[in-house]
Structure 1
């Protein structure tokens, strides 16, 4: 997994890649690549190279989505504020000022080449409703078909910066870019940052840190590297968020690349079969990506509660990978939710030291409310009608609405 450069170059070039005839490419540019960290002035040379790279990609027939940070940094410059505040409302207000300025800057740069752009502001709540999610997907598709470059950012003015455990927030724009890549069924997601690639440790403090050229297993990678860098004072990301984004995108079948933001022209080299590849990290896409609906269930919906299942149900769901969740295997329910809301499926066990451990099995849409599930838990499907007085389904979660998270049993 942690291939050395000399070895990985040979293997990397021989690997199957997405067809280069016409690719859909999502490029995420961080604040550090757009604004000076101290003065907050725009880095016009970087921005110009980003625009020129996108135009070259489009000239070759590729479709491009740009996910851009720096609304806050641009707002700080406009308001002559030296330090990013900590108060959420203040950050949101500054972002509201900066977003318009940032889009004006992009419009000026792309306008020099008569390239139309579109602004798309998203929050996680926008995607929680299935119809809104599909509307956003359709909007992306229409814009790309029109030859427009969509420029995406989180709607910082109304979004919350609080991280909820087991739920994805945008906030850092890395996760947002992964969600966008999944929505447009991208071939590549480029996470452009202030270093060339992912390293085994922080190269600024550890001279022995080695570059990671290729990763096939992100979970195994986390156990072998150190990623504690929090990002710049203006940005909110770091390598931790980029690993999360890579995990989201590769699950949707998107090859994910970490590369240096100040050299966006390297994107052209990476997507073609050039022998002298620039330093970067490549996360290979999963062979069996989640289909659109399951991607939405897993990453678009907030879990309203949790359903605890016994060992038998755990093994049945994980081993078969296509089993529905039946009432007989449920031991308890936590949280309050209605039918068709999202809930986690978990199993409670103990480790060797006797400590309680919660294993997340999956996430899905329920056919019954939490109150109804509590009444029928542990009972046979044939008893649901007698207990509730009606029956909507013989299972609590249909297999088509259940996304498995836990790895398959050996």
Structure 2
């Protein structure tokens, strides 16, 4: 497999897209779309893996808390995905960019026929300068919400699988933290940001702690697992704070931002 030097997958998490009350963070979403449109103008192919459907749907349905029943999670995902795509279409449209929606379940990347059709769809969208927006198909496939048969485990792993599938050169994970620290920065003020990782070791995984907010599903450990998969397939992975999506330009310019997980030679 050869990676495309102009193809970048960007993953944005629920905690980046929403505020503490579950409302969409309009400012961050606007800045994200502007940065991605700007990178696309520079000649890069952009694929956006976006979380947030269940949280956004639950908020729009005025649910008192994040739903626990599968059927309510799926209902919230259905409502929230519609709202997310409406906003993405609106914001990207302001920057003269078109978007397309791709919802995946655990058969789309493993079944040969569906996988080939999916690849053709990605290629057609990118060739026509349309930004694919990818999410799990939670409103139909409960396996990706809480089944033991999960392929993705969460959208961090989904973004790594999409990056490998699309032959991307880089995976950027926008999170609610600046990167990987050598301790837990929320409880240890002396914790230092690790700017570069050549090898993901068991010791490094032990440093990773749980999710930084109650709105997302993943924590740093899922990001390390995603980075491990992507780097083994020749893809650089960068984890940084999603509240400043304009840092995408610094990442493209190879400036020191967040934590860089260096790709293995393949």
* Range into which the TM-score falls when normalised by the shorter chain: over 0.9
Q: Do the aligned partners of 1:168 and 1:175 also contact (CA within 8 Å) in 2?
A: no
2:6 paired residue number? 23
Q: How does 1:388-407 map to 2 (within 5 A)?
A: none
Gaps of 5+ in 1: 1-17, 289-410
1:286 paired residue number? 264
- The alignment covers a number of residue pairs equal to 262
Q: Do the aligned partners of 1:215 and 1:221 also contact (CA within 8 Å) in 2?
A: no
1:268 aligned onto 2:218: no
Shift in CA distance, 251/36, structure 1 to aligned 2, threshold 3 Å: same
Aligned match of 2:146 in 162, 177, 180? 162
1:88 aligned onto 2:66: no
1:358 paired residue number? none
1:32 aligned onto 2:10: no
Deviation at 1:27, TM superposition (A): 0.5
Taking the aligned partners of 2:107 and 2:20, their CA distance within structure 1 comes to: 30
Q: CA RMSD in A?
A: 1.8
Taking the aligned partners of 2:146 and 2:58, their CA distance within structure 1 comes to: 22
Taking the aligned partners of 2:136 and 2:259, their CA distance within structure 1 comes to: 25
Taking the aligned partners of 1:204 and 1:138, their CA distance within structure 2 comes to: 44
- Residue-by-residue CA offset, 1:310-349 (whole Å, 9 max, x unaligned): xxxxxxxxxxxxxxxxxxxxxxxxxxxxxxxxxxxxxxxx
Deviation at 1:228, TM superposition (A): 2.3
Deviation at 1:220, TM superposition (A): 4.5
Q: How does 1:248-259 map to 2 (within 5 A)?
A: 248-259=229-240
Taking the aligned partners of 1:163 and 1:228, their CA distance within structure 2 comes to: 23
Q: How does 1:9-408 map to 2 (within 5 A)?
A: 23-38=6-21, 40-159=22-141, 160=143, 161-162=145-146, 164=148, 169-222=151-204, 225-274=206-255, 277-278=256-257, 280-288=258-266
Structure index of larger Rg = 1
Taking the aligned partners of 2:151 and 2:194, their CA distance within structure 1 comes to: 26
Q: Do the aligned partners of 1:230 and 1:239 also contact (CA within 8 Å) in 2?
A: yes
TM-score, normalised with respect to structure 1: 0.61
Taking the aligned partners of 2:168 and 2:248, their CA distance within structure 1 comes to: 15
**Secondary structure class of the residue paired with 1:198:** coil
Taking the aligned partners of 1:168 and 1:78, their CA distance within structure 2 comes to: 27
- Runs of 4+ in structure 1 off by over 6 angstroms are none
Taking the aligned partners of 1:212 and 1:154, their CA distance within structure 2 comes to: 30
Gaps of 5+ in 2: none
**Secondary structure class of the residue paired with 1:211:** coil
Q: Answer 1 or 2: higher relative contact order, Cα 8 Å, separation at least 6.
A: 2
Q: Do the aligned partners of 1:76 and 1:84 also contact (CA within 8 Å) in 2?
A: yes
**Secondary structure class of the residue paired with 2:201:** helix
